């Protein structure tokens, strides 16, 4: 998508003051205004006619870029992959976590979602020949579970300089769902500056779950999550980076006959926009984990066993 306006200040009718206010509310790009509704901007204190003019200008300023299938094929050949640390898990998801897409790891508490995030934040820094993308990671933590010392031990296991690895993980704690949304919306600058190749949101859904309680708020929650996921996917495509999100699942006692008696908290909307969804489960009393590829646009469903040890995410030996 190419744009006539680079900054929201350039839009006719948007003063520096209004731009600042819009940014505070999460409308930091021309694109976000083009996809906003009049009522959203009215709620932000802009009068109706003014809001509709700004939105129209933003929409006119965005040119939809049609590409030929050949060009599309070229874009796809640029897809990069990050190893998870386990060759079997990599194979299950088509050769590692891919750029230009969102990979969602979902599962119960302790199933290894955050461990995989830590490992990927390290592995993305590896050179391409070792399964990395020679880039840095952006880590959005919503549950305050990021542990630098865990990164240190993973980095040491790979023979990397732990200080350098920590230096290339750019961390932010998101305090609310709105804050989390804003962090993603404002990520483009830092992605460029720091050569970010992976953006992690651990967890995608925890704030949404605690803030939007009850059936009544469900549509609003889904709509916000959906928009948030779309922002993420746009970043992935614009910068050829990977996004990894986690999602805790709850058990569903009424569904005991289902092979998967759990369902992702984000429900189906998250499922449709994220491209690869991997369900993780524990094996009682063992460091083993089973990953199941649940939905992917082009890969077959399947399972892979891996383990989480002191060294991080690893393959299971034949004897284990
Ligand atoms: P929630 O965020 O609670 O939903 O869980 P999660 O899926 O993020 O779980 P997480 O990735 O935090 O996995 C925790 C598990 O990883 C622990 O129960 C351990 O089995 C393993 N683990 C975490 N840290 C270490 C470590 O330093 N050494 C070893 N050997 N295992 C670890
Ligand atoms: Mg976790």
Mean pLDDT of the chain: 87
Provide the CATH number for the domain around residue 23.
1.10.150.20
Residue 114 CB–ligand 1 contact under 6 Å: yes
113 annotated ligand-binding residue: yes
H-helix or E-strand containing 103? strand 102-107
219 lies in some domain: yes
Ligand 2 centroid to Cα of residue 104, in Å, is 13
Residues 23 and 105 both lie in one domain? no
CA of 245 to the centre of ligand 2 (A): 11
Q: Which whole number is the average pLDDT over 23-52?
A: 86
For a mutational test of ligand 1's pocket, the pick from 308, 312, 313, i.e. the residue with the most ligand atoms closer than 8 A to its C-beta, is: 308
Q: Is residue 212 part of a domain?
A: yes
More confident residue, 246 or 27: 246
Secondary structure (3-state) at 294 = strand
- What percent of the chain is modeled with pLDDT above 90? 56
Q: From 159, 144, 169, 158, select the one nearest 83 (Cα to Cα).
A: 158
For the segment 88-103, the average pLDDT, to the nearest whole number, is 95
Assess whether pLDDT exceeds 70 at residue 92.
Answer: yes
Among protein residues, the one whose CA lies closest to atom 15 of ligand 1:
110
- State mean pLDDT over 100-111: 92
Residue 178 lies in a domain: yes
In the predicted model, is pLDDT for residue 115 greater than 60?
Answer: yes
Question: CATH number of the domain that 87 lies in?
Answer: 3.40.50.300
Both 45 and 113 in one domain: the answer is no
219 prior amide bond cis, ω within 30? no
Q: Is 114 annotated as a binding residue?
A: yes
Chain length of the chain: 320
Residues 52 and 165 in one domain: no
Q: Indicate if 264 and 159 belong to the same structural domain.
A: yes
Q: Do 35 and 168 share a domain, yes or no?
A: no
**Residue 320 within any structural domain of the chain:** no
Q: What is the 3-state secondary structure (H, E, C) of 125-189?
A: CCCHHHCCCCCEEEEEECCCCCCHHHHHHHHHHCCCCHHHHHHCEEEEECCCHHHHHHHHHCHHH
pLDDT bin (cut points 50, 70, 90) of residue 91 is: very high
Residues 212, 148 share a domain: yes
In the reported structure, the alpha carbon of residue 90 is separated from the centroid of ligand 1 by a whole-number distance in angstroms of: 19
Same domain assignment for residues 160 and 22: no
Residue 69 included in any domain: no
Structural domain that includes position 28: 8-61
Q: How many domains does the chain have?
A: 2
269 located within any domain: yes
Which among 110, 120, 314 is the best mutation to test ligand 1's pocket, defined by most ligand atoms within 8 Å of the CB?
110
pLDDT for 251: 56
Please tell me the predicted confidence (pLDDT) of residue 152: 98
**pLDDT band at 297; cut points 50, 70, 90:** low
Residues 274, 132: one domain? yes
Residue 104 has pLDDT above 50, yes or no: yes
Nearest ligand (C-alpha, residue 113): 1
Q: Are residues 22 and 82 in the same domain?
A: no
- Please report whether residue 104 resides in a domain: yes
- For residue 250, what pLDDT is reported? 67
> Which residues have C-beta within 8 Å of that of residue 255, sequence separation ≥ 6?
261, 263
Ligand 1 atom with the smallest distance to the CA of 280 is 7
pLDDT > 70: what percent of the chain? 90
Same domain (yes/no): 284, 261: yes
For residue 59, pLDDT beyond 70: yes
Q: What is the pTM of this model?
A: 0.81
Kindly report, residue by residue over 254-288, the tens digit of the pLDDT.
434 334 444 565 555 555 555 788 999 999 889 99
Indicate the top mutation candidate among 112, 119, 142, 283 to test ligand 1's pocket, ranked by most ligand atoms within 8 A of CB: 112
For residues 38 and 187, membership in a common domain is answered with: no
**What local confidence, expressed as pLDDT, does residue 157 receive?**
98
């Amino acid at each position: 998508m190419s744009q006539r306006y680079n900054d929201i200040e350039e839009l006719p009718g948007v003063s520096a003051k209004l731009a600042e206010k819009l940014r505070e509310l999460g409308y930091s790009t021309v694109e976000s205004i083009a996809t906003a509704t009049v009522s959203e901007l009215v709620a932000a204190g802009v009068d109706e006619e003014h809001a509709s003019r700004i939105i129209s200008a933003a929409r006119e300023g965005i040119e939809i870029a049609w590409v030929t299938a050949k060009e599309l094929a070229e874009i796809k050949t640029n897809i990069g992959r990050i190893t998870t640390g386990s060759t079997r898990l990599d194979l299950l998801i088509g050769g590692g976590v891919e750029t230009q897409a969102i990979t969602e790891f979902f599962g119960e508490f302790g199933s290894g979602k955050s461990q995989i995030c830590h490992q990927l934040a390290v592995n993305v820094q590896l050179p391409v020949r070792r399964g990395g993308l020679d880039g840095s990671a952006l880590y959005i933590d919503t549950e305050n579970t990021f542990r630098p010392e865990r990164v240190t031990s993973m980095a040491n296991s790979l023979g990397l300089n732990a200080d350098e690895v920590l230096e290339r993980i750019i961390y932010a704690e998101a305090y609310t769902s709105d804050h989390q949304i804003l962090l993603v919306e404002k990520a483009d600058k830092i992605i460029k500056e720091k050569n970010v190749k992976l953006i992690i949101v651990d967890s995608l859904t925890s704030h949404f779950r605690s803030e939007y309680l009850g059936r009544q708020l469900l549509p609003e929650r889904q709509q916000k999550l959906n928009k948030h996921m779309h922002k993420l996917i746009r970043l992935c495509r614009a910068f050829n980076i990977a996004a990894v999100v986690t999602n805790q699942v709850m058990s569903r006692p009424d569904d005991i006959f289902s092979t998967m008696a759990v369902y992702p908290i984000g429900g189906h909307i998250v499922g449709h926009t994220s491209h690869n969804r991997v369900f993780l489960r524990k094996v009682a009393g063992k460091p083993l984990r089973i990953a199941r590829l649940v939905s992917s646009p082009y890969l077959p469903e399947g399972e892979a066993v891996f383990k989480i040890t002191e060294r991080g995410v690893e393959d299971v030996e034949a004897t284990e």
